[in-house]
Structure 1
Amino acid sequence: MIPDGDLAGQPYMLTDEMWTFLVKHYRLHEGAREHSWQTAWHYTKSMLVRPQKWGKSPFVAAMICAEAVGDVIFAGWDANGEPVARPWPTAIIQVTASTEDQTDNVYKALRPMIDTGPLTDLIPDTGETRINLPGAGWIEPVTSKALSRLGARVTFVPQDEPGTWPGGSQLEKMADTQYRGLAGTGGRPVLITNGWDLAENSVAQQLAESNEPDVLVDHTKAPEHLSYTNKVDRQKIHRIVYGDSALKLDRGGNRVTGWVNLDRIEAEASKLVKKDPNQAARFFGNIPSMGSGSWLQPGQYSDRVVVRERPKSGPVCLGFDGSDVDDWSAIRLSTFDFHKFTPVDHLGRRTIWNPALTGGKIPRLEVMAAFEYVFQTYDVVRAYLDPPLWASEVNFLQGKYGDRVVFEWPTYRIKPMHAALERLKTDIINPTSGLSFDADPDADIHYRNAVMRARAGQTYILGKPADNQKIDIVMSDALAHEAVNDAIAANDLGRRKTSQISTTFYKIG
């Protein structure tokens, strides 16, 4: 039964979109005849991405009712070769969200669905914190705080708004624990969420970007050419993403289908767009986007990526942000027309090191060999190196190439770092600066990850949304960009032999 609102107590009817999702979620594997019931499903995880007020919570509450007492397990084939099903002998269901208030979205829709409908005789015990099921099973709301309950052999796990569960957080660990519990029983999760903040690398984002064939991602999207900040385009987007849930009236003003008043959605969205357009796009437009704390907005970095051959020589400036075990290390170069690129070492390997791929530590000898090759290959005018953890190596390079070429540039100094980041950001946004980037896939991710962390005096530094979301290439670019601008200001090129310098590099901007 419909749990609340003007239609409370009326039969809960699924829309075509909902039926489509269910058909996909319960689809059998193409080779199901040769599989056991636990491996017969085509999808091991399913995610539904829809805007606010579409009806995700009541829909997943209806799925919980089915998983609690309905025939939802593949049980072989009948005499006509058609699949048959049976209920779980002991259904254990965890309604999961980031907070108790968030679990209420589903749990408080679920209880009246049971209590006011035909299931009340089958499920008579619907408590505020637990619903007891036939066969000694139960339904319970859980959050990451309930660690003692996360090891249960669950059969169905609806996860509410995993688009707000940041990568590397306790919530991600909770999700992984539940997935392991489901794997042991043959159960599956269903994730319901709005569009997510691309800077957070959330559980939902990771699932959507996994491209795994056994993961169902049902995400209604409007065409990319429509702009959410444009009122006419925004209304088109709403009609698309709200789909069957949009309220439709007959000539007499009576409801025909749907329940979402798009005029009301537009009124709310238009207000939020003025304050936080990306948040409005996520909530009402079903569009994953960068949060307001992101250092760059969507398109600002990607618009500067150009496909061009990596420079093989010539004057450059260098930036290096080094680590030891936790973060990445990267050598990035900038030409004097502001093109940022990743050079290669003597073996043709990119000068970017991920400790997860190098035995858990940055290979210092390999990095130093790369420095030597870069200095031999290019005319390095200035090199700005972040010294913490690399002080001895920086001193060695200063002794070899001179302290008027190799400089210590500590990134922990807040005011200079803020100024360097602002200069790089301004030149990225300014269409006349001439700044460009090579098409490095890791750089794209690091720029997307970068978020601003406020400091005193209206300054900021860059931070990571989560420990596993790195930004080290951005930091190396900031140092390289600072070096090239300082070299231009000091007329370092003018003191060098003109035969070593391509005249094209004099065309700045």
Structure 2
Amino acid sequence: MVAADDGTWPLDFPTLYVVPDWIAQHCRLESVGGLVRGPQPFEMYDWQLRCTAHFYRVRTEARIGQLSTAFCFRRGQVVAPQKSGKGPWTAGITAAEAVGPVLFAGWAEGGEVHDCRSYGCGCGWVYEYEPGEPMGRPWSTPLIQITATSEDQTDNVYRPLQAMIRNGPLGELMRVGEQFIRLPNDGRIDVVTSSAQSRLGNPVTFVIQDETGIWTETNKMTKVATTQRRGLAGMSGRSLETTNGWDPSENSVAQKTAETQAKDVYRFHRLPPKGLSYRNKAERRKIHAHVYEGSRHIDLDAIEGEAAELLEKEPAEAERFFGNRLVAGMGTWLQQDRWDARTQVRELPERARVVLGFDGSDVDDWTGIRAETLDGYQFTPTYGPDARLAIWDPQDWQGQVPRLEVDAAVHDLFERYDVVRMYADPPYWETEVDTWADRYGDKRVVRWYTQRVVQMHAACERLLTDVTKAASSFGHDGCEITSLHVRNARKAARPSNRYVLRKASVLQKIDLAVCSVLAHEAAGDVIAAGEAKAKRRRGRGF
């Protein structure tokens, strides 16, 4: 998974700086900081300016005539808490995409300007480019869609956009209607919802997708998102998602974007510090202060009141909406932030004593190995000349897990580490597990069936306890794939108040979480058997 911007990425790159300046000049709102003072220029907060700069970041090899391909990012996603300012910001971006200088127009050599009068705007504003700065120009026929699950949701963007047009010079170029805005050269901005999908086949140059954390297969918004992206690809256009935190069990559009491996998708998500409890009022205040940083109109006391009330009945929802965390609802096995808080990367000596946990599949689920030292440090090992992670997604291997690669990884790990024990779940891998037991000894390679309810429940509880208890020495390497798989794991109820692990949905894998459970169980069993210390080898004369 490609990392998201957490507000610390550098801003030392070429971008269309003309865009935020154009927005400040042309977009005006009556409400500034919650006070009605007459139309005021929309000046971006620092986080909004950061996201704008990244979204309009220009590739150093960009050429005149390129549209979306002139930019580093084909689309973007901004995850921010409730009422932090996403709506007005995306309204400003939409206005710029409608009639502003948002397309790459070459590199300035000195003396070039953007003069609004050249594009039909009589405000008189002129922007002078610095030498070497990328220049911008408007679309000739912009075709824009503001999309959400309902009309009320689209109002988050559409209402401030209407106000920006009516309160400033944009009224000369844009004609406001209830469901669409007419633009020059037969361009337009349309409002699209799940109940008005007839417009989805239209070509588009820019799309706002609002609150994608609730866009799912069930409400048919996943299809909306993919259809719009196909339309954008045909026009070489771009899109921008905004959302609160989402429920990881729902496999929403926002979650798919956040987990994409594509490197041309910009994502901004400022997560709160790890290890803070949202149920603790003092720590909750610190969480709010962090995720709302820079949104000057926010009163943290007001946010606390709403969050505390929602926390009484919908704690996961409160944490997603106001804490900007990705927290699942009922049935979650282990909250991701509790797991992530145990990250403590460290180097291991040669021939370190470890145990291994192996969970295998064939053509659907993933196959993986997790290792753990006997003092409680768990990690995803690497193998082979390229130091590949011991994780195999069948889709990366022509649809089937590469069994020779897995066997090579096991051989490498037994050579590199002092493997005391390996717990391996045999289904689909009986022959390989038998081979490993014969090769390394059946006291070291143990067949451990995860479908045994009593044993699996106990193993899951052991790891859960050691991750969440305050005095635990357990730590791990911060493997992002394992973190996602832990987040996807749900409790599947079984008799006698027990459970085993299941996926939140068919597409949300949990295999590395299972590997972690097996590795931790193996470590605990080795210690309980008194095998934690290496046996001394007696030489001659002793």
CA separation of 1:349 and 1:101: change in aligned 2, threshold 3 A: same
Q: Is this contact kept in 2: 1:310–1:343, CA < 8 A?
A: no
1:326 aligned residue? 364
2:237 aligned residue? 187
Q: How far 1:329 moved relative to its partner?
A: 1.6
3-state SS of 2:45 partner: helix
Identical aligned residues as a percent = 41
2:487 aligned residue? 449
Q: Is this contact kept in 1: 2:453–2:494, CA < 8 A?
A: no
1:391 aligned residue? 430
Q: How far 1:324 moved relative to its partner?
A: 1.2
For residue 284 of structure 1, the aligned residue among 303, 308, 322 is 322
Within a 5 Å distance, the mapping from 1:32-431 to structure 2 comes to: 35-36=64-65, 38=67, 44-65=74-95, 67-68=97-98, 80-84=111-115, 86=119, 88-98=139-149, 102-107=153-158, 126-128=177-179, 133=183, 135-142=185-192, 149-164=199-214, 174-175=224-225, 177-195=227-245, 231=281, 242=292, 246=296, 258=297, 260-273=298-311, 279-285=317-323, 287-292=324-329, 293=332, 295-303=334-342, 305-309=344-348, 312=351, 317-342=355-380, 351-371=390-410, 382-397=421-436, 406-430=445-469
CA distance in 1, matches of 2:110, 2:531: 85
RMSD: 5.2
CA distance in 1, matches of 2:63, 2:413: 57
Q: How far 1:82 moved relative to its partner?
A: 0.6
2:45 aligned residue? 17
CA distance in 1, matches of 2:421, 2:291: 51
CA distance in 1, matches of 2:94, 2:452: 53
Q: Is this contact kept in 1: 2:424–2:433, CA < 8 A?
A: yes
Q: How far 1:92 moved relative to its partner?
A: 1.8
Q: Is this contact kept in 2: 1:318–1:333, CA < 8 A?
A: yes
User: What residue identity is the alignment partner of 1:162?
Assistant: T
User: What residue identity is the alignment partner of 1:91?
Assistant: P
User: What residue identity is the alignment partner of 1:428?
Assistant: V
1:249 aligned residue? none
Q: How far 1:62 moved relative to its partner?
A: 4.9
Q: How far 1:357 moved relative to its partner?
A: 3.8
CA distance in 2, matches of 1:124, 1:357: 49
Q: Is this contact kept in 2: 1:310–1:341, CA < 8 A?
A: no
Residues 214-270 of structure 1: per-residue CA shift (max 9 Å, x gap) = 766666788889876665665576567556764xxxxxxxxxxx5x55432221123
CA separation of 1:453 and 1:4: change in aligned 2, threshold 3 A: farther
Q: Is this contact kept in 1: 2:57–2:72, CA < 8 A?
A: yes
2:6 aligned residue? none
3-state SS of 2:346 partner: coil
3-state SS of 1:389 partner: coil
CA distance in 1, matches of 2:58, 2:417: 56
CA separation of 1:441 and 1:341: change in aligned 2, threshold 3 A: closer
User: What residue identity is the alignment partner of 1:309?
Assistant: L
CA separation of 1:57 and 1:310: change in aligned 2, threshold 3 A: same
3-state SS of 1:60 partner: helix
3-state SS of 1:102 partner: helix
CA distance in 2, matches of 1:405, 1:22: 52
Report the TM-score, using the length of structure 1 for normalisation: 0.71
User: What residue identity is the alignment partner of 2:342?
Assistant: D
CA distance in 2, matches of 1:338, 1:210: 31
Residues 321-375 of structure 1: per-residue CA shift (max 9 Å, x gap) = 0011233222334454444455566767654333344343222233335445656
CA distance in 2, matches of 1:472, 1:174: 30
User: What residue identity is the alignment partner of 1:159?
Assistant: Q
CA separation of 1:460 and 1:37: change in aligned 2, threshold 3 A: same
3-state SS of 1:303 partner: coil
User: What residue identity is the alignment partner of 1:90?
Assistant: T
CA distance in 1, matches of 2:83, 2:504: 28
Q: Is this contact kept in 1: 2:339–2:483, CA < 8 A?
A: no
3-state SS of 1:412 partner: coil
User: What residue identity is the alignment partner of 1:477?
Assistant: S
CA distance in 1, matches of 2:173, 2:531: 83
CA separation of 1:383 and 1:112: change in aligned 2, threshold 3 A: same
3-state SS of 1:452 partner: strand
1:507 aligned residue? none
474-483 vs 116-125, greater mean Cα deviation: 116-125
Q: How far 1:157 moved relative to its partner?
A: 0.8
User: What residue identity is the alignment partner of 1:17?
Assistant: Y
- Flag structure 2 segments of 5+ consecutive residues without an equivalent: 1-27, 120-137
CA separation of 1:337 and 1:126: change in aligned 2, threshold 3 A: same
CA distance in 1, matches of 2:80, 2:379: 38
Q: How far 1:21 moved relative to its partner?
A: 6.3
3-state SS of 1:153 partner: coil
CA distance in 2, matches of 1:359, 1:43: 28
Report the TM-score, using the length of structure 2 for normalisation: 0.67
CA separation of 1:153 and 1:370: change in aligned 2, threshold 3 A: same
CA separation of 1:324 and 1:98: change in aligned 2, threshold 3 A: farther
CA distance in 2, matches of 1:181, 1:159: 14
CA distance in 1, matches of 2:110, 2:372: 71
Q: Is this contact kept in 1: 2:207–2:239, CA < 8 A?
A: yes
User: What residue identity is the alignment partner of 2:87?
Assistant: S
- Flag structure 1 segments of 5+ consecutive residues without an equivalent: 247-257, 502-509
Within a 5 Å distance, the mapping from 1:465-504 to structure 2 comes to: 470-486=509-525, 491=529, 493=531, 498-499=535-536
CA distance in 2, matches of 1:312, 1:431: 30
User: What residue identity is the alignment partner of 2:369?
Assistant: I
CA distance in 1, matches of 2:537, 2:195: 63
Q: Is this contact kept in 2: 1:451–1:465, CA < 8 A?
A: yes
3-state SS of 1:298 partner: helix
